[in-house]
Amino acid sequence: MVRLHRASKRCEPGRGGGRGIAPFRRVERVEPFPWAEVLHFCLNHLRWPPQTVWAATPREVAAALTSAPVTHKGSRPARSGLEALLRRYPDRPASA
């Protein structure tokens, strides 16, 4: 789909029709906004309630997306860490 968008800056008077308005420029492809990814990140990773997500401005969401640490799902604890967790939280209570 080809869309026409106004350039972001105003032209000098005498250019672009003489009204100080930027001419249209051709944009070959406009990517849709990634709503699903943004909502998933805000709701699941940042744990924002829905009211906060929808009340946030685009700048607030962008700041949260760039400053939030991302954990890797594929990382596993070391064997010693796993054994420590098993001792601390056994599957069955210790017999008395």
40-69: pLDDT as tens digits? 989 988 899 999 999 999 899 888 888 866
pTM (predicted TM-score) = 0.42
d(CA 91, CA 64): 38
pLDDT at residue 64, rounded to an integer: 87
| pLDDT for residue 16 is more than 90 | no
Q: How confident is the prediction for the chain on average, in pLDDT?
A: 76
pLDDT digits (tens, 9 = 90+) for 74-90: 667 788 888 888 888 88
Strands (DSSP E) contained in the chain are 3-6, 24-27
pLDDT at residue 54, rounded to an integer: 92
Of 48, 5, 54, the closest CA to residue 25 belongs to: 5
